[in-house]
Structure 1
């Protein structure tokens, strides 16, 4: 006898109960409110992994056969553990990494996105996010400077994925046949290669491996004293690469490098790449946000000459991660990274609705509506909210730089171009190797105390130093 589908138990239905939703939301909100209101100096209190594993397991139900009931005390304990064991990005003790605390309203919108669950790769599944993506593309292009209607923007889950997607577009455009023929598409014109600054983000090097280009085909361009790509040495390096049998199809410049936030000379690089038929991609994951500031926009002079641009909103636009925007100067190129067909998502007859679909332009089929927190902030507060916060962080970093210059036992390694500053403590006549070990020892001690969080980095020139943002 066919009894049909088994009816869910009452406890299963309770998991969708509206009153329970309100109670759990209010309990969590109360803890988040307390967390944000805590102005104490906190950094990162590391917990031994085995200890944290035991704590997490102790909060899991032991019920294996039936649905366990809702336990508010257990939920509160989970939220408390979550908040305690993370980097305290809203605390004065947090000075590391490339991201700041998010605007609280952005978290509220992200909460809504999690609940309504609208995969945003296709218009029919997420109408407002797709419209908003187009609106924000137009808003930000006011600072990039491409002709209206000529460009395109698509959101991706992180700058690494955006860089990979842009370089795929560059390869498919500059090395025709690559998608279908692979390496056979070279046609004797040389091995496809990437030109990058010596300080380029590791995601670009990773892309070379993922795409099968190979790290041996990375042409690493020398840097000048300001840690920028040295324009005077670019052409000789490209010509030397050509003599080695390499065909550079894309040059990746940085607008805010990870180590020191250096901005490559984009206008000069755009001229060089344009003359040689090379795609210019700008990794502005960190520094592109300076475009919204009248005071700082000049650091990206020449960005309108780029073929593509990566821009992370979860770094200097203070939204939840991930939220990355990938811009193309030529909107037709936005469809070149991927070539595929699937009847269950792509339409044979495009219309006004499918025109906003991004599923064919990104690696993701299911994609969070990551643009929503950014758009709501922009819609509610406008550009000035972001400009003032960015300018404050950059000004604060310059103030720290000035203070350190006056301290005889400290040294800085560069002028802060944005909100990243590398410095180190070097008392007396320490050798480079001694200074190196001292920085590591200091950071480990600071990290162990849990009061401050300071990052570290190896940069060209002096040994490793700390950097803060």
Structure 2
């Protein structure tokens, strides 16, 4: 099973299957299969041998790969417009494959030397667009934006309440309850992190939004002062650079000034939108980012590398070890040297961590910044173009002007009652998920469902979007026709 020649033959076989997948430019939605049917298919691919090692079966491997590829979202198809993770640059997948085979965990330099050096290099490269002092900041990689947000919030809490790590809630005796200020549309990972930290939902200060779904700077101050009157001690303000719902960018510059005035840590959840920093054309969306204390940046979203690959930046490198305060002689050295200085195990939650930086560093090394900037700029221009298309369609309503590559809208055919708008959007999305050529998502805006597209694939054009609108119209017509048939008692099936 460890034979080098068998490895090469297997890799070539699987690569040929993936080549076919990448070359397929057809419009494919989601092939949603009943879980019981898929369960039977998966079990049918398992060897019946139980007592001895079964011989390698090339056909069995090919069938496993085919089922794997076919039953997931088709991220390389123009029909994929539904989520914020993208089809990877194929070369990044190859480097990730290398990482899986050589298996070098990257939390400690001795285990993964090049990944740790690559982290330092990419931190320096990307900080050129953030703007912190070169010798003062720090960056660690984490497995996903949710974990990065939790880590940053822990660092912020422990800085404000230094004894909390060792004493728990007892460190708060005589003090106000700790609280975190967030936009009303903040990603659920932030509220989940607060729960993990023992900060109840009632101690999340939800800052009001403006018409563009961004934190309203004019009203944020009043919300913070009201929280103080309620006995809350806000220690961190979380801003979003590209909200999950609509892709909105909070006014980071103004919020940073407010946070500094109030003595708050400013964390920016830029999981989706921080990648715009590499674009000269789009960098202004994150104006003021150099004033932030920490930044979450998901490279597996708009940098088009395999998930997970999240970068957590700190403006002050001295804050990086503050999230976790532990000693463990089997991994942490009492006397750091030139090698252990690159360890990140004391700064991130994971002890065993994938060398997730390697695909990003390899792409950056081979192709440079322009690869990322040009694709991001195309996707954002395309989203602006489809917004213009929607403005000219009388039966569609765009719900915001897109700031990046996320756009929400509703299908509103003539005669649709206001009470039926919510249900129709949900039914259309579910119909497309089960039967359509396109995979889109949905979100509630102001309590009413909306259709949501996220443009992550450079193969998508405005023509594809027009095809999607046609599919939505057909689904909407069919759903309303069936509903009207049921209301009149006719047989609409």
Same fold (TM over 0.5): yes
Aligned with residue 110 of structure 1, among 96, 106, 111? 96
Offset, 1:462: 4.6
Offset, 1:460: 2.6
2:14 aligns with: 28
1:308 aligns with: 294
TM-score, reference length from structure 1: 0.96
Offset, 1:430: 2.6
Is the 8 Å Cα contact of residues 256 and 418 (structure 1) preserved in structure 2? yes
2:440 aligns with: 454
Check if 1:83 corresponds to 2:69: yes
1:430 aligns with: 416
Aligned with residue 326 of structure 2, among 340, 346, 353? 340
1:62 aligns with: 48
Structure 2 distance, partners of 1:230, 1:115, is 48
CA deviations over 1:109-152 (Å, ceiling 9, x no partner)? 00000000000000000000000000000000000000111000
CA deviations over 1:333-358 (Å, ceiling 9, x no partner)? 00000011111101111001100000
Check if 1:289 corresponds to 2:275: yes
Aligned with residue 149 of structure 1, among 126, 132, 135? 135
Offset, 1:467: 2.9
1:326 aligns with: 312
Select between 257-266 and 427-436 the one with higher mean Cα deviation: 427-436
Offset, 1:73: 0.4
Alignment of 1:190-209 (within 5 A): 190-209=176-195
CA deviations over 1:68-94 (Å, ceiling 9, x no partner)? 110000000000000100100000111
Structure 2 distance, partners of 1:454, 1:41, is 13
Alignment of 1:91-102 (within 5 A): 91-102=77-88
Check if 1:352 corresponds to 2:318: no
Offset, 1:100: 2.1
Structure 2 distance, partners of 1:410, 1:417, is 19
Structure 2 distance, partners of 1:462, 1:441, is 13
Aligned with residue 445 of structure 1, among 418, 428, 431? 431
1:377 aligns with: 363
Mark the runs of 5 or more structure 2 residues left unpaired by the alignment. Answer: 456-493
Aligned with residue 298 of structure 1, among 272, 278, 284? 284
1:410 aligns with: 396
Select between 183-192 and 70-79 the one with higher mean Cα deviation: 183-192
Is the 8 Å Cα contact of residues 166 and 337 (structure 1) preserved in structure 2? yes
Q: How many residues align?
A: 455
Is the 8 Å Cα contact of residues 432 and 463 (structure 1) preserved in structure 2? no
CA deviations over 1:204-259 (Å, ceiling 9, x no partner)? 01011100011110000000011100001111111110111000000000000000
1:17 aligns with: 3
CA deviations over 1:291-319 (Å, ceiling 9, x no partner)? 00000000000000100000000000000
Partner SS state of residue 261, structure 1: coil
Offset, 1:427: 1.1
Is the 8 Å Cα contact of residues 42 and 88 (structure 1) preserved in structure 2? yes
CA deviations over 1:19-51 (Å, ceiling 9, x no partner)? 110111011000000000001110111010000
Partner SS state of residue 458, structure 1: strand
Check if 1:214 corresponds to 2:161: no
Structure 1 distance, partners of 2:10, 2:320, is 42
Is the 8 Å Cα contact of residues 436 and 465 (structure 1) preserved in structure 2? no
Offset, 1:444: 1.4
Q: CA RMSD in A?
A: 0.9
TM-score, reference length from structure 2: 0.91
1:124 aligns with: 110
Is the 8 Å Cα contact of residues 439 and 466 (structure 1) preserved in structure 2? no
Partner SS state of residue 324, structure 2: coil
Aligned with residue 162 of structure 1, among 137, 148, 151? 148
Partner SS state of residue 162, structure 1: helix
1:190/1:413 CA distance change after superposition, 3 Å: same
Is the 8 Å Cα contact of residues 429 and 451 (structure 2) preserved in structure 1? no
Check if 1:224 corresponds to 2:233: no
Structure 1 distance, partners of 2:39, 2:33, is 10
2:245 aligns with: 259
Structure 1 distance, partners of 2:450, 2:283, is 30
Offset, 1:433: 3.0
Mark the runs of 5 or more structure 1 residues left unpaired by the alignment. Answer: 1-14
Is the 8 Å Cα contact of residues 413 and 462 (structure 1) preserved in structure 2? no
Alignment of 1:174-193 (within 5 A): 174-193=160-179
Structure 2 distance, partners of 1:261, 1:180, is 38
Structure 1 runs (4+) greater than 2 angstroms displaced = 429-433, 460-469
Partner SS state of residue 336, structure 1: helix
Is the 8 Å Cα contact of residues 255 and 262 (structure 1) preserved in structure 2? yes
